[in-house]
Amino acid sequence: MSSCITMKRPGVMTIILCLLAVAFMIGCGGEQPPAQIQNQSLNSGQAAAVSENQAEAGDSYTARIKFKAEDGSDAIVIKRYADHDKIEIKHEGISAVIKARSGAENRWKYKESAAGAEEKVQVAEVKLEPDSFKIVDESEKLLWKVRIKDGKIKISDNEDGNNSWEIKSKSADKSEIRNASGEEIGNVKFYADNGKLKVKDAANKEILVSKDLKASAAPGVIMFSHIPLKHRVVIISELLRMGQ
């Protein structure tokens, strides 16, 4: 009897050892080699770094309005951010980047980084008023007065509105651009068939084109050639802010 028991014990032990070996192998199989874990961690880190770089490189503007020239190039791009505006200009031989910030209530200062200048140079300051606004220089001298009334946008270099140029609404989709003599020098029209808003001169030449706007008279200010381009763009930006 004892000899039978002696013969069975190794079998039991063998089974137990086999079971332990299988459990150990399964446990080991569930783990990844250190090199593989390290590579996965590296890949995760690289993905995070790429995502972070994309976030830094991305433009987090809340709104963008782009105007193209007749040749299809970007002429004016206005971007609205949470705390400032950025305007990129490449038009009429002028290239500039202007930023606008509101340092006080109802005021916006437009500045650009001029070549060779250590500090930003102020282009203009906007003083907002009900149904109008002023463009002034650093000494508060009036440069341009913009009035919005009765479907018209009038711009003059004086408080009284004398010799003003104007943009007059003719319909929901079209506005006429007139000089101080009352002569029509162009128009702004939205074309529903292609979704484009176009500024054209009297010869029907396209001056500015945008797919970001529908009914807006603001870009017609580009035709007021007696006003410096940067000031025209500031006026366009402010009129768009007012929903004109």
Give the Cβ contact number of residue 186 at 10 Å: 23
Mapping DSSP to helix (H, G, I), strand (E, B) and coil, where does residue 228 land?
A: coil
Mapping DSSP to helix (H, G, I), strand (E, B) and coil, where does residue 214 land?
A: coil
For residue 162, the one-letter residue type is N
Least reliable range by pLDDT among 80-84, 102-106, 124-128, 169-173: 102-106
Q: State residue 226 phi and psi, 5-degree precision.
A: -75, -10
pLDDT tier at 240, thresholds 50, 70, 90: very high
Burial class (CB in 10 A: 0-12, 13-18, 19+), 32: exposed
8 Å CB contact between 127 and 142: no
Region 30-58 average pLDDT = 35
Could you tell me which residues come within 8 angstroms of residue 237 by beta carbon, excluding any fewer than 6 positions away? 78, 85, 87, 100
Q: What is the DSSP string of 63-122?
A: EEEEEE-TTS-EEEEEEE-SS-EEEEEEETTEEEEEEEEEEETTEEEEEE--TT-SSPEE
8 Å CB contact between 182 and 168: no
Give the Cβ contact number of residue 122 at 10 Å: 13
Burial class (CB in 10 A: 0-12, 13-18, 19+), 28: exposed
What is the C-alpha separation between 56 and 191, in angstroms, rounded? 37
pLDDT tens digit sequence for 97-112:
999 999 888 999 999 9
What is the C-alpha separation between 88 and 54, in angstroms, rounded? 22
Region 185-197 average pLDDT = 97
pLDDT tens digit sequence for 111-161:
998 766 678 999 999 999 989 999 999 999 999 999 999 999 999 999 999
Is pLDDT of 37 > 60?
Answer: no
8 Å CB contact between 133 and 127: yes
